[in-house]
Amino acid sequence: MPYSSGTSGTPKGVLLSQYNLVANVAQSSAFFRVTPDDVLLAVLPFFHIYGLTVLLNLALGERARLVTMPKFDLAEFLRITQDHRCTYLFIAPPIAVALAKHPLVDQYDLSSVRVVLSGAAPLDGELGHAVAKRLGCTMLQGYGMTELSPVSHAIPRDGAENVPLDSVGYAVPNTECKLLDPPRTKKSTSRPKDRAPPGSSLSAARRSCSAT
């Protein structure tokens, strides 16, 4: 039961089933194209749904190598990326800022990095392009929430050059979306459903702190 970020209030425990997590690994895999040849650097905590699904479970599912860090330190992050020849970095925007602008980056050989994906907060398109240019890699962005296990949208690795980097890309497979104007009047919709379809990554419920 990972906790939400508490965007609209205090963090709440989110009930996720094994099926939720397995479904989202399959959905994410279709877009991120992690392979057994990839080396992933896990700087995100596994108690957070981003780290749990997109790093731990996805790496296990695709039989990729996963290198872990106990906490983020830029010099150590760069050293591990260099020494372990990491190919795929899953990060948040503050790390993207460092990769794009910090002079320490030039002291390390990061030529093994093929893909960097940013999530957990909005990534500015200009910043993303700066990371891609400096590292010579493909830059992706994803969107999600704890209640969705978490990935709902992402820029796919295949064809990333055709998707604006300041967008969240496309809905992952088997995900239905609805666009709402600010007053929450329906603007555009696929078939709305009261309940998620079988096999979905959508959580069944949330629990307050007092209940957990």
The residue range of the domain holding 115 is 13-206
Nearest to 137 by CA among 167, 157, 164, 107: 157
Is 7 inside any structural domain?
A: no
Nearest to 112 by CA among 134, 137, 87: 87
Omega of the bond prior to 183 within 30 degrees of 0, cis?
Answer: no
Query: What's the CATH number where 96 sits?
Result: 3.40.50.12780
Is 121 inside any structural domain?
A: yes
Is 78 inside any structural domain?
A: yes
**What is the residue-wise DSSP string for 55-108?**
IIIHHHHHT-EEEE-SS--HHHHHHHHHHTT--EEEE-HHHHHHHHH-GGGGGS
CA-based torsion, 96, 161, 64, 176: positive or negative: positive
For 22-69, how does the pLDDT look when each residue is reduced to its tens digit (9 = 90+)?
Answer: 999 999 999 999 999 999 999 998 988 998 999 999 999 999 999 999
Is 211 inside any structural domain?
A: no
Kind of pairing between the strands at 115-118 and 138-144: parallel
Is 54 inside any structural domain?
A: yes
What pTM was computed for the model? Answer: 0.82
Is 2 inside any structural domain?
A: no
Indicate the average pLDDT of the chain.
86
Measure the CA–CA gap between 56 and 86, rounded to whole angstroms: 15
Is 30 inside any structural domain?
A: yes
On whether the CB atoms of residues 43 and 19 are closer than 8 A, the answer is: no
For 62-98, how does the pLDDT look when each residue is reduced to its tens digit (9 = 90+)?
Answer: 999 999 999 999 999 999 999 999 999 999 999 999 9
Is 8 inside any structural domain?
A: no
Q: How many domains does the chain have?
A: 1
Q: Which amino acid is at 39?
A: V
Q: Which residues 6+ apart lie within 8 Å of 150 measured at CB? A: 24, 49, 50, 53, 54, 144, 201
Q: Which amino acid is at 192?
A: P
